[in-house]
A and B are shown apart, each in its own frame.
Chain A
Amino acid sequence: MRILKSPSLAVAALALLAVAALVVPHFLKSYGLYLLTYWLIYVMATMGLNLIVGYAGQKSLGHGAFFGIGAYAAALLLKAGISFWLALPAAMLLCFVAGLLIGFPALRVKMVYLAFATLGFNEVISLVFRNEEWLTGGTFGLSDIARPSLFGWSLDGARAYYHLVLVLTVLGFLLLRGILRSPWGKAFTALRDNPIRAESLGVNIQAYTLLAFAIGSAYAGAAGVLFGSLVQFIEPAPFSVQTSIMMYLMVVVGGAGYLAGPIIGSIIGVLAPEWLRFVEGWYLFVFGALVIALMVWLPGGIASIPDRLRERRKSKAASAARTAAAVANKLSKEVAA
């Protein structure tokens, strides 16, 4: 399990990303910083979805619901005067438990049926956000959500908050990488590739399915908390089924089952529409066409490009070896004759 399969390529890509993450914000104005922070938040959310979809092989169209549960839970706690540093783990824990519960249908139904079950869950949660005004503020939402401070240092500014989100996203990345490099990672992959065989080898497929949903949902919850403090106002729309579908698209386009997948996929999902604004009214059309083209030519996602190149090289080498063997065989027959 690697970020990209070639270590040197992975190190180079990570170094480039780290330099860009630290240097680029200094050249950006407030909207650019907002977009970059927004991208990191989606990286956090889709890392969790990648665990569920890309590694454990489950279908989920309800990730936006956990994004929302995290955002609302933290907003309510912050408005009640609870510290951000307590609200963040509390919201993640709530999403972990909710993820465990939504994981139970996954023990019963698979594939598209599971996708619809999770989509239904997202719709129910959206209704709760919209209709339970006493708690969520309904369509008016919750405003004045505070940004945190750390050891008396305010993280209220756009750049400071970006750095906080960057640090938490990197920590989330390293944690997920650790999980996937442990025996759990192999169990998740076994569950995805062949659940019947995995069970016959003693893998507790129920427990790992639930864990994938729970951990993935906790990541979405953390992203929701960071999102609430970024926009400082939340209402039901950003947590709808449309968000869940967009997150799924980001994972698949980026490369499901690759650690780098969500990082790349979120660029496509969050930043590409902004970069395409120069085509004005056509930007959604161009974005849609880009996604279709990527799915046709790269069904494994952008992160799968090095693998595809390696496979092509191997296939060419095998073909050359076969040709050489055939020529040698022919020559030896001619010599013998």
Chain B
Amino acid sequence: MSSALHAQRATGAAPLSPSAPVLQVRDLKKSYGAIAAVGGVSFEVMPGEIFGVIGPNGSGKTTMFNSVLGQIDPDAGKIHLNGEDITGLSPMQLNQRGVGRTFQTLQVFAKMSVRDNLLVAAQEHHGTMLRRLFAPGDSGLGAKADALIAQFRLGHVADQQAGALSYGQQKLVDIAMAFMSDPDLVLLDEPCAGVNPSLVSGISSLLKELNRTRKGSFVVIEHNMDFVMDLCHRIMVMVEGKVMAIGTPAEIRANKAVLDAYLGN
């Protein structure tokens, strides 16, 4: 873990502190028939850490991601969140325990306004189901939603239907929703997929700012190497369902096996 603790980057992401990991994945396995999509993956994510996951298509990143997020049941292995075994919990149970996520494709509620998208992203964390029936429409989260909308520079479209926005704006709404409930851990699946270069830099700045101000840990799957190298404290390289290397961006860049298998020269 020494590389994690010393991965303090000058680019704006928060420095790491020595403590117990937020997420621990131990020997995770998932096969589809004879194909081992994930073949014994282990890693840890520390508090406040931005942890990148890279690898070629078919390397098992998304299967690993979906296993951690309760979207699919792993065949073997253990997943712990803040010391609690969360293996096999449903996505709803994971969210209630402080795990936020985004998906590879856009997943906003198209018919709802941007503001309502953010409100629904946190309302289930407030009170019992019966209490929510008698709660105000914004569950008392209006100011918080407005602050996040302002942070994501979506104020001018806050009352518009999310489905009517541009792809990039919807991507921002999608990411903002994952942070609305103040999760301990956010898993972002290709946050830069399909967005233009200027927005990629905007998303990077936003994630650094959120990491600094909210102290949460992030796991980011991404193919955009500049984005990953700039943003992440540590990076895990997956190839053919296995971990090839884990290290700081500098260590990964210098790793000959990674260069040969994935990054090239």
Report yes or no: A182 in contact with B95, Cβ–Cβ below 8 A.
no
Taking CB atoms, residues of chain A closer than 8 Å to B124 are 183, 187, 201-204
Residue of B nearest to A206 (CB): B92
Residue of A nearest to B124 (CB): A202
Residue A110 at the chain B interface, CB threshold 8 Å: no
Report yes or no: B120 in contact with A199, Cβ–Cβ below 8 A.
no
Report yes or no: B112 in contact with A189, Cβ–Cβ below 8 A.
yes
Contact A207/B91 with A186-B123, A187-B123, A189-B111 known, Cβ cut-off 8 Å: no
* Interface-lining segment among A17-25, A82-90, A160-168, A190-198: A190-198
Q: Name the interface residues of B122-139: CB closer than 8 Å to any CB of A.
A: 122-125, 129, 132-137, 139
Report yes or no: A183 in contact with B107, Cβ–Cβ below 8 A.
no
Contact A207/B120 with A182-B135, A197-B103, A200-B95 known, Cβ cut-off 8 Å: no
Q: Name the interface residues of B82-114: CB closer than 8 Å to any CB of A.
A: 90-92, 95-96, 101, 103, 107-112
Residue A262 at the chain B interface, CB threshold 8 Å: no
Taking CB atoms, residues of chain B closer than 8 Å to A182 are 132-137
Q: Which of A179, A193, A197 contacts B133 (CB 8 A)?
A: A179
Report yes or no: B137 in contact with A181, Cβ–Cβ below 8 A.
yes
Q: CA separation between A193 and B139, bound complex, in Å?
A: 20
Residue of A nearest to B107 (CB): A197
Report yes or no: A201 in contact with B120, Cβ–Cβ below 8 A.
yes
Taking CB atoms, residues of chain A closer than 8 Å to B109 are 189-190, 193-194, 197-198
Contact residues on B (Cβ < 8 Å of other chain), bracket: 20 to 34
Report yes or no: A202 in contact with B92, Cβ–Cβ below 8 A.
yes
Q: Name the interface residues of A181-232: CB closer than 8 Å to any CB of B.
A: 181-187, 189-190, 193-194, 196-205, 207
Report yes or no: B107 in contact with A202, Cβ–Cβ below 8 A.
no
Q: CA separation between A288 and B35, bound complex, in Å?
A: 54
Count, A-B residue pairs, CB within 8 A: 88
Q: CA separation between A198 and B177, bound complex, in Å?
A: 11
Contact residues on A (Cβ < 8 Å of other chain), bracket: 20 to 34
Taking CB atoms, residues of chain A closer than 8 Å to B125 are 202
| Interface SS of A by simple majority | helix
Residue of A nearest to B120 (CB): A186
Q: CA separation between A190 and B137, bound complex, in Å?
A: 14
Taking CB atoms, residues of chain A closer than 8 Å to B111 are 189, 193, 257
Residue of A nearest to B103 (CB): A197
Taking the nearest CB of chain B, how far is it from the CB of A5, in angstroms? 10
Report yes or no: A193 in contact with B181, Cβ–Cβ below 8 A.
no
Contact A183/B92 with A189-B109, A207-B129 known, Cβ cut-off 8 Å: no
Residue of B nearest to A205 (CB): B92
Residue B121 at the chain A interface, CB threshold 8 Å: yes
Q: CA separation between A112 and B42, bound complex, in Å?
A: 42
Report yes or no: A194 in contact with B123, Cβ–Cβ below 8 A.
no
Residue B184 at the chain A interface, CB threshold 8 Å: no
Taking CB atoms, residues of chain A closer than 8 Å to B119 are 183, 186
Taking the nearest CB of chain A, how far is it from the CB of B184, in angstroms? 14
Contact A185/B137 with A194-B109, A200-B91, A201-B120 known, Cβ cut-off 8 Å: yes
Q: Which of A179, A183, A185, A202 contacts B181 (CB 8 A)?
A: A202
Taking CB atoms, residues of chain B closer than 8 Å to A183 are 119-120, 123-124, 132-133, 135, 137, 139
Q: CA separation between A250 and B181, bound complex, in Å?
A: 39
Taking CB atoms, residues of chain B closer than 8 Å to A186 are 112, 116, 119-120, 123, 137
Report yes or no: A199 in contact with B92, Cβ–Cβ below 8 A.
yes
Q: CA separation between A203 and B121, bound complex, in Å?
A: 8
Report yes or no: B120 in contact with A190, Cβ–Cβ below 8 A.
yes
Taking the nearest CB of chain A, how far is it from the CB of B208, in angstroms? 24
Taking CB atoms, residues of chain B closer than 8 Å to A194 are 107-110
Q: CA separation between A205 and B116, bound complex, in Å?
A: 17
Taking CB atoms, residues of chain B closer than 8 Å to A181 are 137
Q: CA separation between A193 and B129, bound complex, in Å?
A: 20
Q: CA separation between A207 and B130, bound complex, in Å?
A: 11
Q: Name the interface residues of B53-96: CB closer than 8 Å to any CB of A.
A: 69, 90-92, 95-96
8 cross-chain CB contacts under 8 A: A182-B136, A183-B119, A186-B123, A196-B103, A200-B69, A200-B95, A200-B101, A202-B96
> Which 3 A-B pairs have CB atoms at the shortest separation, nearest pair first?
A202-B95, A202-B124, A197-B107
Q: A193-B111, A204-B129 are known contacts; what are 15 more A-B pairs with Cβ within 8 Å?
A: A183-B119, A183-B124, A186-B120, A186-B137, A187-B123, A189-B116, A190-B112, A196-B91, A196-B107, A200-B69, A200-B101, A201-B122, A201-B124, A202-B95, A204-B92
